[in-house]
Structure 1
Amino acid sequence: MDLEKMMAMAQNVQAELTKAQATLDTIEVEGVSGGGLVRIRASAKGRIIGMDIDDSLLNPAEKGMLEDLLAAAFNDARAKADAASQAEMGKMTSGLSLPPGFKLPF
């Protein structure tokens, strides 16, 4: 493979990676905990879009449980965002002819 082809491939990979990163911020996932009492919406890029907390949890006596449920919902959203990101990046790299052993930074 000559240098010109490698440079063209690198530029193509960079352009596709930039496009995929922009797409990730448009994919929405939802993390849930407490059987749906806490819901966190995030982009596949990891940006938190919003949250919904059931009114039953807005009791000072339930503060510890609410904190645990929020952490669980954030972690669930993060895991789903990571999965969506990997799936989207997998789509991008499936069309590229990368040399064996070539790894992209994600």
Structure 2
Amino acid sequence: MDFLKMMKQAKQMQEQMGSLQEEIAEIEAEGTAGGGLVSVKIGGKGELKAVKIDPAMFKEEDVEILEDLIIAAHNEAKAKVEQAMQEKTQEMMSGLGLPAGMKLPF
């Protein structure tokens, strides 16, 4: 194995990981629950960006349902962000010619 070539590939991979992390930070996903009564938007690092609640949910007896719907909507949005991150990572890895499924230490 050519050590210099390996070092060059490692540097390239590190640069691409930095770029990937910037792309992930810009990802936004929306999750909904209760047939659209509640929606949330989160960023690529899981931060909550927005919450929208249908005014029909503002009844005192519906507070617990509303709380559950917010959690469900957040979880859906988070799953979408994780899927997008996985796809971007796979694209980067295939571009480097590394074996599929190889885990990186950074």
Instruction: Please classify the TM superposition score into its range, dividing by the shorter chain length.
Output: 0.7 to 0.9
Alpha-carbon distance, 1:105 to partner: 4.6
Q: Per the alignment, in what secondary structure is the counterpart of residue 35 of structure 1? A: coil
Counting matched residue pairs gives 106
> Which has the higher mean CA deviation after the structures are superposed, 74-83 or 91-100?
91-100
Answer whether contact 1:21 1:45 (CA < 8 A) is retained.
no
Partners of 2:65 and 2:25 in 1: CA distance:
30
Answer whether contact 2:93 2:100 (CA < 8 A) is retained.
no
Partners of 2:61 and 2:100 in 1: CA distance:
57
Q: Using a 3 Å threshold, how does the CA distance of structure 1 residues 59 and 101 change in structure 2: closer, same or farther?
A: closer
Name stretches of at least 5 consecutive residues in structure 2 with no aligned partner.
none
**Structure 1 consecutive aligned stretches of length 4 or more whose deviation exceeds 6 Å:** none
The one-letter amino acid of 2:91's match is K
Q: Which residue pairs with 2:17 in the alignment?
A: 17
Name stretches of at least 5 consecutive residues in structure 1 with no aligned partner.
none
1:49 has 2:49 as partner: yes
Q: Per the alignment, in what secondary structure is the counterpart of residue 97 of structure 2? A: coil
% identical equivalent positions: 42
Q: Per the alignment, in what secondary structure is the counterpart of residue 74 of structure 1? A: helix
